[in-house]
Structure 1
Amino acid sequence: MLEFQQDNRFFLFNFDRAFEGQMDFFNPDFWRKQHRIEGVAKGRGTTYFLRTEDWFGVNCALRHYYRGGLWGKFNKDRYRFVGLADTRSFTEFHLLQRLYEAGLPVPKPIGARVRKGKLGICYQADLLSEKIENAQDLTVLLQGQTLPSETWWQIGKLIRRLHDLQICHTDLNAHNILVQQTENGQKCWLLDFDKCGEKSGDFWKTENLNRLHRSFVKEVTRMKIRFSEQNWADLIAGYQQ
Structure 2
Amino acid sequence: MQIKTTQLGHVAWCETTAQQLAPQDFAVDGWRDNNAVVGQSKGRYTTWFVKTANSDSSQTWVLRHYWRGGMMEKFSRDAYLYTGLKRTRAVAELTILETLYQEGFAVPRPIAANVERFGLWYRADIIIEHVAGANDLVAYLSHNSMTESQWYLLGETIAKFHQRGVYHADLNAKNILLAHGQFYLIDFDRGELRTPHPTWQQANLDRLLRSLKKEHAKLTTLQFSQQHWQQLLAGYQSVNPI
Q: TM-score, normalised by structure 2?
A: 0.91
Structure 2: runs of 5+ lacking an equivalent: none
> Which deviates more from structure 2 when the two are superposed, residues 168-177 or residues 45-54?
45-54
CA contact (8 A) 2:51 2:58 kept: no
Query: What one-letter code is carried by the residue in structure 2 that aligns with 1:126?
Result: D
Report the Cα offset of residue 155 of structure 1: 1.1
Query: Equivalents in 2 of 1:147, 1:238: separation in Å?
Result: 14
Matched, 1:128 2:119: no
Change in 2 beyond 3 A, CA 1:53/1:189: farther
Query: Equivalents in 1 of 2:75, 2:145: separation in Å?
Result: 41
Matched, 1:103 2:104: yes
RMSD: 1.8
Query: What one-letter code is carried by the residue in structure 1 that aligns with 2:216?
Result: V
Query: Equivalents in 2 of 1:63, 1:18: separation in Å?
Result: 19
SS at match of 1:147: coil
Query: Equivalents in 1 of 2:178, 2:18: separation in Å?
Result: 33
Change in 2 beyond 3 A, CA 1:155/1:6: same
Query: Equivalents in 2 of 1:163, 1:87: separation in Å?
Result: 23
Task: Give the structure 1 partner of residue 48 of structure 2.
Answer: 48
Report the Cα offset of residue 109 of structure 1: 0.6
CA contact (8 A) 1:78 1:122 kept: yes
Matched, 1:220 2:216: yes
Query: Equivalents in 2 of 1:17, 1:219: separation in Å?
Result: 39
Structure 1: runs of 5+ lacking an equivalent: none
CA contact (8 A) 2:96 2:193 kept: no
Report the Cα offset of residue 58 of structure 1: 3.4
Matched, 1:88 2:84: no
Query: Equivalents in 2 of 1:134, 1:114: separation in Å?
Result: 30
Query: Equivalents in 2 of 1:206, 1:40: separation in Å?
Result: 33
Task: Give the structure 2 partner of residue 138 of structure 1.
Answer: 137
Instruction: Using the aligned pairs only, state the percent identity.
Output: 35
Report the Cα offset of residue 53 of structure 1: 6.8
CA contact (8 A) 1:137 1:179 kept: yes
Matched, 1:76 2:77: yes
The structure 2 residue matched to 1:194, chosen from 189, 192, 199, is: 189
Q: Report how many residues are paired.
A: 234
Report the Cα offset of residue 222 of structure 1: 1.2
Change in 2 beyond 3 A, CA 1:70/1:149: same
Report the Cα offset of residue 18 of structure 1: 5.3
Q: TM-score, normalised by structure 1?
A: 0.91
Query: What one-letter code is carried by the residue in structure 1 that aligns with 2:194?
Result: K
CA contact (8 A) 1:89 1:114 kept: yes
CA contact (8 A) 1:104 1:158 kept: no
Task: Give the structure 1 partner of residue 235 of structure 2.
Answer: 238
Change in 2 beyond 3 A, CA 1:154/1:69: same
Change in 2 beyond 3 A, CA 1:58/1:105: farther
Change in 2 beyond 3 A, CA 1:116/1:234: same
CA contact (8 A) 1:2 1:17 kept: no
Task: Give the structure 1 partner of residue 151 of structure 2.
Answer: 152
